[in-house]
């Protein structure tokens, strides 16, 4: 996973629910406890995940 700054948000679009993303962020030593993530489904059926560095 790349490094992002505090003022940046990484958005990832996919065609399926990103159920493993929060768990993956917490399991990796490099990202554990450093990021907040959320996901929502859009009208067209696509899922949008947002990953933000905690301040």
Cα Rg, the chain, nearest whole Å = 11
DSSP string, 6-42: TT-EEEEEESS--TTHHHHHHHSTTTTTTEEEEEEE-
Domain membership of residue 3 (yes or no) is no
Residue 1 has pLDDT above 70, yes or no: no
The encoded tokens of residue 36 equal 């907040």
pLDDT at 30: 87
Give how many domains the chain has, as a whole number: 1
43 CB-near residues (< 8 Å, 6+ apart): none
- Please report the pLDDT score of residue 26 as a whole number: 86
pLDDT digit string, tens, across residues 2-50: 665 556 788 989 999 988 888 888 888 888 888 899 999 999 999 999 9
Q: In this structure, is residue 27 part of a structural domain?
A: yes
The domain containing residue 41 runs over which residues?
A: 9-53
Residue 1 lies in a domain: no
How confident is the model at residue 55, as a pLDDT? Answer: 76
């Amino acid at each position: 996973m790349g490094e992002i700054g505090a003022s940046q948000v990484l958005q990832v679009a996919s065609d399926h629910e990103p159920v493993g993303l929060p768990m993956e962020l917490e399991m990796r030593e490099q990202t554990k406890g450093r990021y907040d993530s959320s996901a929502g489904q859009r009208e067209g059926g696509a899922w949008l995940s947002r990953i933000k560095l905690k301040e």
